[in-house]
């Protein structure tokens, strides 16, 4: 789960990370009042969407207006807010369709001397938390990696020891800090790391971490993501979920307790078991197409659950074909077949459907599908299924 910048900053502040004062607002009048209260000379008006690159982003139809604006007076903050609220902001991370901006963050402006980068994330390969830091902040870390890879430093944390101070001080020195700034940077890493582990975060990215003209270090941008499996422990984090920013397909799936992740491809996949789902996605890729989703309907899914899953797939405008791949162990193939048939009738099957069933009650399941009168292609195994759905999608595209 992702949260907004202002929410991440509130959390970080509560862990003692230095963050400039700021107020989240929903109207131009509130923006003016917030700027008046901050009384900071320069005020920054920042669009709150779950995507980065806002500074360099552009509002649809407003080529002069980006998602981060520096203003000097409460009236200018109000005017900027008027131009930024309820409009669509396009950034490198939103895709061309952009995101509707519903909230702004009004923040005290900092006089920046230099911008650094700091993030904490899970390195799955190393099976450790890793701290990544760079003296080149402000731009995306992918760009830094391409242009100045030598400026990126990493430090892995031994889970049996935890973060040790020498690690953060070592990073500070590598970033070029001297004197008091070494301790200031180490303290930020320590507090950020405590926030990360305490809250079961999966990513904490500060870009930029700014050195100000008066020598202080402050967090000017913060992004946090959380492990869904840890959310039950953190009511305060759960409360930060913003449904407006989430994939409606994923929300619908969550209502039915389905494990669903929306992707950018065109082949909808309904599979039971996470391993089989991954294998199915891989084989679709190796056949030259890409999956529209990851979906594990689970071992003992009910008819209703399977039907919901199927409806979600068919309702997705990107889906050009559906592959049902079920290995019926606990799950019975006839139940799957019934659910597929009834959901196809209910929603109207408008794309090719390939079904591969194996396991318990497979004959009954196949009979149900073959006698349904629906236009379904049956496959004998996983490779056959992938080839058939890819061929069907391509034939439909060519037609
Ligand atoms: P994004 O990463 O989405 O573009 P940021 O919050 O990083 O958004 O803002 C972009 C740039 O705007 C920063 O790199 C920084 O130069 C400037 N900026 C952001 N917040 C402030 C602030 N409070 N004071 C001064 N400059 C800021
Ligand atoms: Mg940023």
Question: Do 348 and 293 fall into the same domain?
Answer: yes
Q: Of all protein residues, whose CA lies closest to atom 22 belonging to ligand 1?
A: 109
Provide the pLDDT confidence category of residue 320 given band limits of 50, 70 and 90.
very high
Establish if 5 belongs to a structural domain. Answer: no
The whole-number pLDDT of residue 227 equals 93
> Is there a catalytic annotation at residue 117?
yes
The answer on whether 325 is annotated among ligand-binding residues is: no
The whole-number pLDDT of residue 62 equals 84
Q: Where are the alpha helices (DSSP H) in 199-332?
A: 235-238, 248-255, 274-286, 303-315
User: CB under 8 Å to 150, separation ≥6 — which residues?
Assistant: none
The whole-number pLDDT of residue 339 equals 87
Mutate to test the pocket of ligand 1, among 92, 208, 214, 217 (most ligand atoms within 8 A of CB): 208
The answer on whether 257 is annotated among ligand-binding residues is: no
For residues 210 and 181, the answer to whether their CB atoms sit within 8 Å is no
Question: Do 369 and 280 fall into the same domain?
Answer: yes
| CATH label of the domain that carries residue 48 | 3.30.1490.20
The answer on whether 289 is annotated among ligand-binding residues is: no
Establish if 7 belongs to a structural domain. Answer: no
The answer on whether 372 is annotated among ligand-binding residues is: no
Establish if 6 belongs to a structural domain. Answer: no
Q: What is the mean pLDDT of residues 88-108?
A: 94
Catalytic residue among 59, 117, 193, 260: 117
Catalytic residue among 5, 30, 136, 205: 205
Is any atom of ligand 1 closer than 6 Å to the C-beta of 208? yes
* Domain tally, the chain: 3
| Distance from chain centroid for Cα 251 | 13
The whole-number pLDDT of residue 95 equals 85
Q: How far is the CA of 363 from the centre of ligand 1 (A)?
A: 61
Establish if 15 belongs to a structural domain. Answer: no
Is any atom of ligand 1 closer than 6 Å to the C-beta of 21? no
| CATH label of the domain that carries residue 289 | 3.40.50.261
Is any atom of ligand 1 closer than 6 Å to the C-beta of 44? yes
What is this structure's pTM? Answer: 0.81
Establish if 228 belongs to a structural domain. Answer: yes
The whole-number pLDDT of residue 213 equals 97
Round to whole Å and give the CA distance between 321 and 395.
11
Out of 176, 210, 238, a domain closes at 238
Establish if 351 belongs to a structural domain. Answer: yes
Question: Do 104 and 116 fall into the same domain?
Answer: no
For residues 248 and 230, the answer to whether their CB atoms sit within 8 Å is no
What pLDDT, in 10s, does the model give residues 116-139? Answer: 999 999 999 999 999 999 999 999
Question: Do 164 and 253 fall into the same domain?
Answer: no
Instruction: Tell which atom from ligand 1 comes closest to the C-alpha of 220.
Output: 20
Question: Do 224 and 192 fall into the same domain?
Answer: yes
Question: Do 122 and 203 fall into the same domain?
Answer: yes
Residue percentage of the chain with pLDDT more than 90: 78
Establish if 268 belongs to a structural domain. Answer: yes
> Is there a catalytic annotation at residue 113?
no
Is any atom of ligand 1 closer than 6 Å to the C-beta of 115? yes
The whole-number pLDDT of residue 298 equals 80
Identify the three-state secondary structure at position 286.
helix
Is any atom of ligand 1 closer than 6 Å to the C-beta of 68? yes
What pLDDT, in 10s, does the model give residues 210-253? Answer: 999 999 999 999 999 999 899 999 999 999 999 899 888 888 88
The whole-number pLDDT of residue 335 equals 87
Out of 74, 108, 142, a domain closes at 108
Q: Of all protein residues, whose CA lies closest to atom 13 belonging to ligand 1?
A: 138
- For the ranges 58-67, 99-108, 211-220, the lowest mean pLDDT is seen at 58-67
Round to whole Å and give the CA distance between 110 and 177.
19
On average, the pLDDT of the chain sits at 94
Question: Do 199 and 272 fall into the same domain?
Answer: no
Question: Do 88 and 118 fall into the same domain?
Answer: no
The whole-number pLDDT of residue 18 equals 98
What pLDDT, in 10s, does the model give residues 268-296? Answer: 999 988 899 999 999 999 999 999 999 99
Is any atom of ligand 1 closer than 6 Å to the C-beta of 47? no
Q: How far is the CA of 218 from the centre of ligand 1 (A)?
A: 11
- For the ranges 31-45, 145-159, 290-304, 364-378, the lowest mean pLDDT is seen at 290-304
The whole-number pLDDT of residue 258 equals 87
Is 386 exposed, middle or buried (CB count within 10 Å of its CB: 0-12, 13-18, 19+)? buried
Domain ranges, residue 165: 112-238
Q: Of all protein residues, whose CA lies closest to atom 19 belonging to ligand 1?
A: 220
Provide the pLDDT confidence category of residue 177 given band limits of 50, 70 and 90.
very high
Is any atom of ligand 1 closer than 6 Å to the C-beta of 334? no
């Amino acid at each position: 789960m992702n949260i907004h910048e202002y929410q991440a900053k509130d959390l970080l502040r509560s862990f003692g990370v230095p963050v400039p004062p700021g107020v989240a607002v929903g109207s131009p009048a509130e923006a003016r009042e917030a700027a008046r209260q901050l009384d900071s000379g320069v005020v920054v008006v920042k669009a709150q969407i779950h995507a980065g690159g806002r500074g360099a982003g552009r509002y649809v139809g407003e080529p002069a207006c980006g998602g981060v604006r520096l203003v000097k007076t409460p009236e200018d903050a109000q005017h900027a807010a008027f131009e930024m609220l309820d409009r669509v902001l396009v950034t490198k991370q939103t895709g061309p369709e952009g995101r509707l901006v519903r909230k702004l963050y009004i923040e005290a402006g900092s006089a920046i001397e230099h911008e650094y980068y700091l993030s904490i994330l899970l390195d799955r390969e190393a099976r450790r938390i890793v701290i990544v830091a760079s003296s080149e902040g402000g731009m995306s870390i992918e760009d830094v990696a391409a242009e100045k890879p030598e400026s990126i430093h990493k430090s892995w944390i031994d889970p049996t020891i935890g973060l040790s101070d020498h690690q953060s001080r070592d990073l500070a020195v590598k970033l070029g800090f001297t004197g008091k700034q070494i301790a200031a940077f180490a303290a930020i890493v320590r507090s950020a790391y405590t926030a990360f582990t305490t809250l079961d975060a999966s990513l904490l990215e500060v870009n930029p971490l700014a050195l100000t003209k008066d020598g202080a270090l402050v967090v000017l941008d913060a992004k946090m993501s959380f492990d869904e499996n840890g959310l039950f422990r953190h009511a305060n984090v759960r409360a930060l979920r913003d449904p407006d920013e989430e994939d409606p397909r994923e929300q619908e799936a969550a209502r039915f307790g389905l494990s669903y992740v929306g992707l950018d491809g065109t082949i909808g996949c309904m599979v039971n078991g996470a391993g089989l789902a991954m294998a199915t996605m891989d084989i679709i890729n190796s056949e030259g197409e890409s999956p529209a989703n990851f979906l594990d309907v689970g071992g003992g899914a009910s008819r209703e659950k399977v039907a919901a899953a199927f409806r979600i797939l068919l309702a997705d405008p990107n889906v050009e074909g559906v592959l049902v791949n079920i290995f019926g162990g606990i799950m019975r193939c006839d139940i799957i077949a019934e659910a597929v048939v009834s959901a196809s009738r209910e929603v109207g099957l408008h794309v090719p459907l390939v079904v591969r069933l194996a396991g318990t009650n497979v004959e009954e399941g196949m009979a149900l599908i073959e006698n349904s009168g629906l236009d379904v292609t049956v496959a004998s195994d996983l490779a056959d299924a992938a080839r058939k759905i890819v061929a069907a999608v391509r034939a439909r595209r060519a037609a």
